[in-house]
Chain A
Amino acid sequence: GAVVSQHPSRVICKSGTSVKIECRSLDFQATTMFWYRQFPKQSLMLMATSNEGSKATYEQGVEKDKFLINHASLTLSTLTVTSAHPEDSSFYICSAEDLFKSHEQYFGPGTRLTVT
Chain B
Amino acid sequence: GEDVEQSLFLSVREGDSSVINCTYTDSSSTYLYWYKQEPGAGLQLLTYIFSNMDMKQDQRLTVLLNKKDKHLSLRIADTQTGDSAIYFCARARQAGTALIFGKGTTLSVSS
A49 within 8 A of B: yes
- Please encode chain B, from 10 to 35, with 1 for each CB lying within 8 Å of some chain A CB and 0 for all others: 00000000000000000000110101
Bound complex: CA of A32 vs CA of B99, how far in Å? 12
**Interchain pairs with CB closer than 8 A, number:** 53
Known A43-B103, A44-B101; judge A102-B95 contact (CB<8 A): yes
A97 touching B96, Cβ below 8 Å: yes
Known A34-B98, A44-B101; judge A103-B48 contact (CB<8 A): yes
A110 touching B98, Cβ below 8 Å: no
Q: Which residues of A contact B99 (CB under 8 A)?
A: 34, 44, 46, 95, 105
B95-111 CB contacts (< 8 Å) to partner A: 95-96, 98-104
Bound complex: CA of A104 vs CA of B100, how far in Å? 14
B42 touching A110, Cβ below 8 Å: yes
A39-95 CB contacts (< 8 Å) to partner B: 42-44, 46, 49, 93, 95
Q: Which residues of A contact B42 (CB under 8 A)?
A: 4, 6, 93, 107-110
Known A43-B102, A43-B103, A43-B104; judge A107-B92 contact (CB<8 A): no
**Interface band, chain A:** 20 to 34
Known A43-B104, A44-B88; judge A105-B45 contact (CB<8 A): yes
Which residues of chain B have a CB within 8 Å of any CB of chain A? 30-31, 33, 35, 40-45, 48, 50, 88, 92, 95-96, 98-104
Which residues of chain A have a CB within 8 Å of any CB of chain B? 1, 4, 6, 32, 34, 42-44, 46, 49, 93, 95, 97, 102-110, 112
**Seed contacts A44-B99, A105-B33, A105-B45; 17 additional CB < 8 Å A-B pairs:** A1-B45, A4-B42, A42-B103, A43-B102, A93-B42, A93-B43, A102-B95, A103-B31, A103-B50, A103-B92, A105-B92, A107-B42, A107-B45, A109-B41, A110-B40, A110-B42, A112-B40
